Amino acid sequence: MEDVFTKDAPALAGHYSQGIVHGGLVYVAGQLGKNPARPDAPPGSLEEQTERALLNVKAVVEAAGSDLSHVLQMTVYVSDAAFWGRVNEVYARVMGENRPARAIVPVNEFRGGWQIEIQAIAAIRSPG
């Protein structure tokens, strides 16, 4: 197993890794919509948080030698199931043609006013 770390995703806030590579896969820890360049900034709109969370996932999978087109599965935790249409619109735009297996899990609002967290599993790209 190999830890993944990139400065292009938010710094760790606990005892975990941004991602773990094992068996040709990268497992990405849940990513909030925090901007790593402005970690103390308040949460933006749900759409901004969704896009930034996906960009944070992208940064981790790229640091592991993959990309969003190799994402196999995503789990999206959202603070209100009624937000799903808004989340899905941003998700479809960012993910493009890739349609990984996906689950949405409604949860209570996250600490600090965050409304979404996304975790993922991606295949590592084959060399060449």
What is the reported pLDDT for 108? 86
Q: Is 69 helix (H, G, I), strand (E, B) or coil?
A: helix
Taking the C-alpha atoms of residue 122 and residue 72, their distance in angstroms, rounded to an integer, is: 5
CB 119 within 8 A of CB 25: no
Distance CA 19, CA 28 (A): 4
Domains of the chain, with CATH numbers? 2-123 (3.30.1330.40)
Identify the pLDDT of residue 127: 60
| In the chain, % of residues over pLDDT 70 | 98
Q: What is the pLDDT of residue 128?
A: 54
pLDDT in tens, 64-79: 999 999 999 999 999 9
Instruction: Convert the pLDDT of each residue in 19-70 to its tens digit.
Output: 999 999 999 999 999 999 998 899 999 999 999 999 999 999 999 999 999 9
Decide the pairing of beta strands 25-31 and 116-123.
Answer: antiparallel
pLDDT of residue 39: 87
Q: How far is CA 4 from CA 34, 74, 77, in A?
A: 18, 18, 22
**Residue 18 above 90 pLDDT?**
yes
In this predicted structure, what is the pLDDT of residue 94? Answer: 97
Q: Decide which of 40 and 101 is more confident.
A: 101
Neighbours of 66 (CB within 10 A): 25
